[in-house]
Amino acid sequence: EEMLVESGGGLVQAGGSLRLSCAASGFTFDDYAVGWFRQAPGKEREGVSCISSDNGRIVYADSTKGRFTISIDRAKNTVYLQMTSLEPEDTAVYYCAADRLVLSDDCQEADFFGSWGQGTQVTVSS
């Protein structure tokens, strides 16, 4: 069974940093695309960053480019999202997702991912 477990969320002041982790079991990220998404209250789920299955291309949403960094530790089968210069607008539940074949043009779209974690809350205070 494929499972994803996120951790690392919490409360941080604006300008601060957090690192989210997403540990996978039942599969390895070697053959999968992986994405980070977030959903704020009353808003739709949106793509934050992803690593596509076509040559591991990394994509960032415009709102996170330059502040967030996605990476994979293949030995630990864990994906990270390093978030810096956090803003109150970054407050949301953050989810990681994975699927076998998701191209870079599609990896910011939640519908292309079949496996999801339970989410971790990130709250940025002003």
Per-residue pLDDT, averaged over 4-8, amounts to 97
Give mean pLDDT, residues 62-70. Answer: 97
Phi, psi for residue 72 in degrees, rounded to 5: -125, 130
pLDDT band at 26 (very low <50, low <70, confident <90, very high): very high
Res. 31: pLDDT tops 90: no
Residue 84: pLDDT above 90? yes
pLDDT band, very low/low/confident/very high, at 64 (cuts 50, 70, 90): very high
Instruction: Please determine, for residue 49, whether its predicted confidence score (pLDDT) is greater than 90.
Output: yes
Over range 63-77, report the average pLDDT. 96
**Cα–Cα distance between 123 and 76 in angstroms, integer?**
27
Q: How far is CA 64 from CA 2, 32, 50, in A?
A: 28, 22, 12
Indicate if the pLDDT at residue 123 is higher than 90.
Answer: yes
Distances (CA, A) of 87 to 28, 105, 106, 112, 122: 32, 27, 26, 28, 11
14 has pLDDT over 90: yes
pLDDT band at 119 (very low <50, low <70, confident <90, very high): very high
Q: Which pair of tokens denotes residue 26?
A: 């039942």
